[in-house]
Amino acid sequence: MTATNRHSSSFRDPSGYVEVSGGKVYRHINPVYFDQYQAIKKAGFFEKLFEKKLLIPHKEISANANAIVLEAEQVPFVTYPYEWSFAQYKHAALHTLKLQKYCLQNGFSLKDATAFNITFHNGAPVFIDTLSIENYTDGEPWRAYKQFLMHFLGPLVLAKYFGNDMLKLLHQYIDGLSLQKVVELLPFKARFSTILYTSLYLTAKYEGKYSADKNKAKGGGKAAISKNAQLKIIDALYDYIKGLNINEKTEWNNYYAVTNYDKAAFDHKKELVKSWVDKIKADKIIDHGGNDGTFSRVLTAKASLILTTDIDANAINQNYTQVLKNKEQNIIPVVCDLMNPPAGIGFNNKERQSLKDRLISSQFDVSLALALIHHISLTGNVPFLMSAEYFAQLSKYLIIEFPDRDDSWVSFLLDSKREFRGHFDYYNLENFEKDYKEYFSIVEKTVIQGTSRTLYLFERNQ
């Protein structure tokens, strides 16, 4: 292995590491974890986890005294917790609890419960860290319990009271939220919840490093807790999280119900997008600003992967609900502000890759930017040249919709500039085409019938 093929996020667990080579994902197991791995394998437990879709499947491809190597099923695109909607985050938390419960029932346990061990694959959450499973020792408390609270319960409860933005906190706090901070932020009434008091408030009291050190110095240790008691705690957490809701509305709620398209124009736009995706034989698609996934769903039969991003967490929540309802395996909804996409974080700023780097390395065929450029240009003040440069990095083709100055949304945005409206005279079709031609060539160009909007199929310049 060289420094170039070891995955940048795989260094925290001495049990092994992940290597990405030739587009495949390999998990190397170090001798220190051999006994655990063989015990799980001998019990046939990996196969049970695969059947229940609790763990990403793998196959063993080599074994010697120095390493056992597994090849893991390919996950086309890995998303991180701060890119999930509330429903996705809840589902990821429940999946982790379900996995821990099943592990306990079969004589095993999770040693890690970080939210980064979950991603979305085939329309559902899946646990991707095989080496997080260990043998259960009778009476030993769940060692990842506090980590689960810091990565899942804390953010979810804060989101319940303060909104979706709380789910982005792991972008800043990669090791999870301090429980002391969580309980300080929660309203007073939260302590009257039995589950929050026992899991968050009491655990926060003993959270501090110095408290733990003092405890050890006194010869103290963690009290034994029976398996049945642990299962009851997991069930209680599961029921509480399952019942959590968020009540937050945004300006983009029901976007497509208030759009200025009539049905004929909307259908015309759908047909254009479909025919152009057919024309370029696109298999992997990014739908930027895709809201609830209305246009992504037009293409589900044509693509193996559609990543639908939007700044509006509620729209992404609606999208994910549809993914579950329709059992769609090729749509991944992602919460993302295109004006401030998630950056690389962690060690060397590479432990968790930026969204842009993941998009580029995944080699998408086409980007959709429908009803988006006027927001980027007139709300974000991004010059055409800069948005063109950004899109040109992400995919070979770009389908982009340009609303002219006569469009009602564009008029609204220009009017909101008041005395500075004249500073945005550059916003017109001619300047748009001129600047985008620096990075793209026009393949097709059509006015959407009954609108002041033009749809373009661009191909990136060589």
Contacts of 416 (CB under 8 A, 6+ apart): none
User: CB of 190 within 8 A of CB of 199?
Assistant: no
For residue 334, pLDDT over 80 is answered with yes
pLDDT band at 9 (very low <50, low <70, confident <90, very high): confident
pLDDT band at 330 (very low <50, low <70, confident <90, very high): very high
pLDDT band at 76 (very low <50, low <70, confident <90, very high): very high
Alpha-carbon distance 17 to 2, whole Å?
A: 12
Alpha-carbon distance 363 to 285, whole Å?
A: 9
The predicted-structure confidence for 121-130, as pLDDT tens digits, reads as follows: 999 999 999 9
pTM: 0.92
Per-residue pLDDT, averaged over 328-344, amounts to: 96
- What local confidence, expressed as pLDDT, does residue 418 receive? 82
**Strands 305-310, 284-288: parallel, antiparallel or unpaired by DSSP?**
parallel
Per-residue pLDDT, averaged over 165-190, amounts to: 96
The structure tokens listed for 450 are 């009954």
Scanning 106-189, the segments in alpha helix (DSSP H) are: 145-148, 154-162, 179-185
The structure tokens listed for 435 are 């600047």
pLDDT band at 286 (very low <50, low <70, confident <90, very high): very high
For residue 214, pLDDT over 80 is answered with no
Per-residue pLDDT, averaged over 86-106, amounts to: 98
The predicted-structure confidence for 355-370, as pLDDT tens digits, reads as follows: 999 999 999 999 999 9
Name the percent of the chain lying above pLDDT 90.
81
Instruction: Supply the mean pLDDT for the chain.
Output: 92
Name the percent of the chain lying above pLDDT 70.
93
pLDDT band at 219 (very low <50, low <70, confident <90, very high): very low
Per-residue pLDDT, averaged over 293-320, amounts to: 95
Q: How many residues does the chain have?
A: 462
Per-residue pLDDT, averaged over 64-80, amounts to: 95
- What local confidence, expressed as pLDDT, does residue 248 receive? 75
User: CB of 414 within 8 A of CB of 405?
Assistant: yes
For residue 75, pLDDT over 50 is answered with yes
The structure tokens listed for 379 are 């709300």
Backbone φ/ψ region at 449: left (φ over 0), alpha (ψ -120 to 50), beta: beta
User: CB of 141 within 8 A of CB of 230?
Assistant: yes
Per-residue pLDDT, averaged over 324-338, amounts to: 96
Alpha-carbon distance 440 to 399, whole Å?
A: 11
Per-residue pLDDT, averaged over 260-276, amounts to: 89
pLDDT band at 116 (very low <50, low <70, confident <90, very high): very high
- What local confidence, expressed as pLDDT, does residue 6 receive? 81
- What local confidence, expressed as pLDDT, does residue 191 receive? 93
- What local confidence, expressed as pLDDT, does residue 210 receive? 46
- What local confidence, expressed as pLDDT, does residue 222 receive? 62
For residue 319, pLDDT over 50 is answered with yes
- What local confidence, expressed as pLDDT, does residue 206 receive? 77
Per-residue pLDDT, averaged over 373-401, amounts to: 96
The predicted-structure confidence for 44-62, as pLDDT tens digits, reads as follows: 999 999 999 999 999 999 9
Alpha-carbon distance 236 to 101, whole Å?
A: 12
User: CB of 279 within 8 A of CB of 191?
Assistant: no
- What local confidence, expressed as pLDDT, does residue 1 receive? 45
DSSP 190-233: GGGSHHHIIIIIHHHHT-SHHHHHHHHHTT--PPP--HHHHHHH
Mutual angle of helices 429-436 and 384-394, in 10-degree steps: 40
Alpha-carbon distance 458 to 439, whole Å?
A: 9
For residue 3, pLDDT over 90 is answered with no
Alpha-carbon distance 422 to 402, whole Å?
A: 20
User: CB of 317 within 8 A of CB of 249?
Assistant: no
Per-residue pLDDT, averaged over 267-273, amounts to: 94
**Of 266 and 210, more confident:** 266
Backbone φ/ψ region at 428: left (φ over 0), alpha (ψ -120 to 50), beta: beta
CA trace torsion 103, 107, 111, 115 (10° rounding): 0
**Residues facing residue 455 across a β-bridge:** 401, 446
